Amino acid sequence: MKFTFRLIIGIIILAAIIAWGIMTRLHDAEAAKDVTNRAAIPTVNVLKVDAGMAGEDVTLPGTVRPDHEAGLFARTNGYVKTWHTDIGARVRAGDLLAEIDTPDVEAQLHQAEADLKTAEANNAQAQITAERFQSVTNKEAVSKQEVDQAVNAASAAASAVASARANMDRLHEMAGFRRIVAPFDGVISARNTDNGALINAGSGAAPMELFHIVDARKLRVDIDVPESYAADITPDMVAELHFAEYPDRTFPAALARTADALNPSTRTLMVEFEMDNSNGELKSGGFTKAHLRFGSAGGNIHLPVNTLLFRDKTQVAVVDDQDRVQLKDITIGRDYGKAVEVLTGLQPGETVIVNPPDSLESGQQVNIAKAAAPTQK
């Protein structure tokens, strides 16, 4: 009996050991299977989509020009008799800048005056003759043809007087060009002549600029805006101008006008801003950096380029509340190099995968990394 009892106990213990071994192996197999399944789920970094700022700051180069600027040329031939203003001189409209000695024009003017007197005398005689011939026409003292000839001669003499007077007036105008005067208030920025210099106003040679005058009390700033920003130009836009000579200051300039058409060579829109310079702090002809603010009132979505998937369409991988992937088609606006503007396809608050694998598919389960990537700016 004792032997039989011991045998039964041994068999039970052996069966328990075998059962325990089988259960342990089954548990280990399930654990290994679970680890394998978990390892097959990719772990990804994500970021939250923000609406971004309501606008975007862009810095563009600008050229500073005076409000009025003109080169002054002579309209008559001669020699510079004397000049009265030099560079840096502030002048008023109508101020005398230089005088030109024009002996040829003066001689032509005297001749024109004499020709006018001759034409007037011939015209007076022709008018008297025509009146006399017309007065005796009814008495048949002269023929009809002689009367017509006298009347036509009187008309031609009157036209000759008008022609001579017009020529004299033209030469009077040419003589008036002996005086070079300022066309508007401003500063003489260049003087390119001196006493005794030959002035040739003819079309056969390039005219010489005698003076250059600028009115810089108001400045114009020309900026070429890229095509991608042209639609964001608004009438109330203000540019902040930065000049190298004033590193700690900014100067505001208001939008004055645009070309309203793109330059086909550069694909840019010419935009002109105006600013007050009545104190003369800034010099025209210089360079400035213009800070412009673009953007819509609703704000823009900006994403890093390493969130994009380039397949048949541009896509991003969005993760839902259950950590499942949904591929969304997006429309890209401006390209900023390291980031892009997203126009359609995403909403603020959605979670986007950073560096998504090319094998990623919609509906796929993913694990979210504990150390999430920082939100884009």
Domain stops at, among 274, 294, 314 = 294
In a domain, 203, yes or no: no
pLDDT for the residue 297: 44
Domain check: are 242 and 312 in the same one? no
Total domain count for the chain? 4
Residue 6's identity, in one-letter code, is: R
**Structural domain boundaries, residue 23:** 1-36
- The residue type found at 245 is E
* Distance between CA atoms of residues 130 and 275, nearest Å: 69
Residue 316, burial from CB neighbour count under 10 angstroms (0-12, 13-18, 19+): buried
Strands 238-243 and 78-83: unpaired
Specify the pLDDT at position 348.
83
Report pLDDT for 55: 58
Same domain for 28 and 125: no
- pLDDT value at position 272? 96
Distance between CA atoms of residues 76 and 90, nearest Å: 25
* pLDDT-flagged residues of the chain (< 70): 1-8, 10, 14-16, 21, 25-40, 51-55, 137-142, 202-206, 295-300, 371-377
In a domain, 53, yes or no: no
Residue 344 in tokens = 């359609």
Identify the three-state secondary structure at position 63: strand
User: Which tens digits make up the pLDDT trace of 118-157?
Assistant: 988 888 888 888 887 777 766 666 677 777 787 888 888 8
For the domain that residue 220 is a member of, what is the CATH number? 2.40.30.170
Is residue 319 a part of any domain in this protein?
yes
249 and 177 in one domain?
no
Question: Is 201 inside any structural domain?
Answer: no
Domain at 314, CATH number: 2.40.420.20
Q: Is residue 260 part of a domain?
A: yes
Residues 317 and 287 in one domain: no
Per-residue pLDDT, 293: 84
pLDDT digits (tens, 9 = 90+) for 221-246: 999 999 888 888 888 899 999 999 99
Q: Is residue 262 part of a domain?
A: yes
